[in-house]
Amino acid sequence: MKSAFQQDSHSDLKTGEYIVVNNVLPKIKIDRLTQLAGQKFNNEESRPIYIHQEESLGKDIETRYRAAGVHVILQHAAPWLNHLIGPEWLILSNKVLLRRTWPLSEHQSRSLGHNASNLTWHQDSNPRHNDCPMLVMMVVLQNHSGVSRPGLSILKTPIHEFQGVYGYEGGRVDEFERKIKEDYGQLEIGTPELNAGDLLIFNGLTFHRTYAHQAMKEHRDALLVRVVQPKHQQNFPKGIHWTIHSKELLQ
């Protein structure tokens, strides 16, 4: 296990911090998700797969989540979930998804003019949820994410409120990075290297973006899960969200 600041294992994961837990997802789960991704993702325009809707994984939401390995992820993230979210967790159905990220350079991403695959600086919270607790978890399905495959850049700056998404249009990325340097004296970025089954955990207010460059030749598939407190369900679009108590993971 390693982290951005080597914080205590029960840290509340403030913005700008992150945890990597190695070898979380079993090979049988990785293989099933990789096969599914290979069937569904054809090009840079391919949209994410929402696990709660994927009938090939089972007959109901809980079965589909278990087949994808969501329960395993929650078990490994439980110390941080319990500390930040509490003992009861709301799994946002529209935020449990399988996504393929293509090895586009930043120049190529800018020319696309959208975020279908490679994402610019953004937070996973929203204006309504703002600084309410959210934990973000991502497991990659191939080796060498952040090296030969796209990874994530994580801004280590402690942002305390939702500020938005900084897309490529109109030079907003450059403006955002310039303002961070002006306000905090530097643009400090972490780029964790992840292998198949590794779990990355961070706060929903942490700014992050796709990390990709011309030397990367292969895509990266990842399973993402986002969790909030049940009382904050109204901060998100209606959906078939799923609530689970941490004790249920031990049964």
The two structure tokens encoding residue 215:
């030397």
**CA pair distance 96, 35, nearest whole angstrom:** 18
Q: How much is the pLDDT for 11?
A: 63
pLDDT along the chain (251 residues), means of 10: 42 88 97 96 87 97 96 96 96 96 71 60 94 97 96 94 76 86 93 97 95 87 98 95 88 62
**CA pair distance 109, 232, nearest whole angstrom:** 34
**CA pair distance 64, 59, nearest whole angstrom:** 7
- Give me the domains of the chain, ranges plus CATH numbers: 13-250 (2.60.120.620)
Q: How much is the pLDDT for 5?
A: 35
Strand-pairing partners, residue 209, are 153
Rounded (10°) angle between helices 27-40 and 61-68? 110
Calculated CA dihedral for residues 37, 41, 45, 50, nearest 10 degrees: -40
Among 51, 49, 45, 81, CA closest to 66: 51
Tell me the pairing of strands 199-203 and 2-3. unpaired
**SS3 (DSSP) at 77:** helix
